[in-house]
Amino acid sequence: MELGERSYKITIGCGLLRRASDFFRLERAALVVTDDNIPQIYAESVASCAKRREIYKIPEGEGSKSIDTLSALLGKMAEMKLTRSDCVIAVGGGVVGDLTGLAASLYMRGIDFYNVPTSLLAMVDSSIGGKTAINHAGIKNIVGAFYQPRGVLIDTDVLATLPERHIAAGLCEAIKMAATSDEELFRYIEGADTAQILSSTEDMIARALNIKKRVVEQDERESGLRKILNFGHTLGHGIEASSGEGVLYHGECVALGMLPMCSPKARERLISTLKRHRLPTEYHGDIAAAIALTMHDKKANAGGIDIITVDCIGKCDIRTVSADEFAGICLGYYGK
């Protein structure tokens, strides 16, 4: 990732966890953060490379992107007496990465942060780009910071233990990027089954990350272009919040959020691709409640709601619509 003094290296491969010190500066104290559902061996392998280390486990799930867990993590960093020259390392999915990155940005006004994504979603998307956040007052990602990691290490071996449904949810973020920006990648995911993709995940991850990298390098703080990475997320966040924690995964909500934002032709390809990878294409929950929650989302501002639309796979537009227009688009697709 080329961002001037905030540039960093993203390494993808197999068997990398035990070699973390080849990629990160670990001749210092490191707090390795993981969740209590991820095989502990991953955090232990990374931690074993650091000079002084501890492992801190947060409870699994979206609920850990909270003020309470953030506070407990900052407390652990203080208890470990980390200084500004030490570091924290996230070994986990998007939840661990978002929380740990935010804690790193706050502790002593910022200490080094490394990301070792273990879910496919974190590998193809959340581990790069520097968005960190927790949820608060019922609003997703409302408290956060732009804080880039110092390095990202992607070891695809860890996907062996990731449940199938989470593989699909992660793949959805790659489908999202391909739909807005890379027809060739979309065609590949459209034409392959999940097992085929998993047999050459490194390539797929690199292609998805390259899209995100190019976007972030041009618009790190989302003043324009970076909004395209939110394709499907505006309604998706509303669906995620209204359907209750853990019922639908983040990637599944993004799948549902993308569908109303496409032309009929693009939607046809998207639906068949989502179905092929066992992602949802129908929503049976309360769409009006999801829309209402979207209005509270941070992307809904006084000037309207920014939406990303795809008329032709591989290309997209950013549009600002009124709250009524947004509701009309969503209700028009999912029905009243």
Ligand X SMILES: NC(=O)c1ccc[n+]([C@@H]2O[C@H](COP(=O)([O-])OP(=O)(O)OC[C@H]3O[C@@H](n4cnc5c(N)ncnc54)[C@H](O)[C@@H]3O)[C@@H](O)[C@H]2O)c1
End-to-end CA gap in the chain: 44
Under the binding rule (CB under 6 A), the answer on residue 222 touching ligand X is: no
C-alpha span between 334 and 259 (Å, rounded): 9
List the catalytic residue out of 62, 222, 240, 252: 222
The whole-angstrom distance between residue 98's C-alpha and the CA centroid of its chain comes to 8
Structure tokens at 139: 């609003």
- Kindly give the interhelix angle for 264-276 and 183-191, rounded to the nearest 10 degrees: 40
Active site residue 173: yes
The contact pattern for ligand X, residues 62-91, with x = CB under 6 A and - = no contact, is x--x--------------------------
In whole angstroms, the minimum distance from the beta carbon of 274 to ligand X comes to: 16
C-alpha span between 162 and 324 (Å, rounded): 40
Rounded to 10 degrees, what is the CA torsion of 112, 117, 121, 125?
Answer: 40
Under the binding rule (CB under 6 A), the answer on residue 96 touching ligand X is: yes
Under the binding rule (CB under 6 A), the answer on residue 43 touching ligand X is: no
Active site residue 268: no
Residue 134: DSSP 8-state: E
Under the binding rule (CB under 6 A), the answer on residue 44 touching ligand X is: no
List the catalytic residue out of 5, 81, 109, 284: 109
CA angle 237, 238, 244 (to 5 degrees): 90
Q: Considering beta carbons, is residue 135 or 273 the nearer one to ligand X?
A: 135
In whole angstroms, the minimum distance from the beta carbon of 263 to ligand X comes to: 25
Query: Which residues lie near ligand X (CB under 6 A)?
Result: 35, 37-39, 60-62, 65, 92-96, 98, 118-119, 121-122, 125-126, 129, 131, 141, 158, 161-162, 166, 169, 249-250
Residues with a known catalytic role:
109, 131, 173, 212, 222, 226, 230, 233, 237, 250
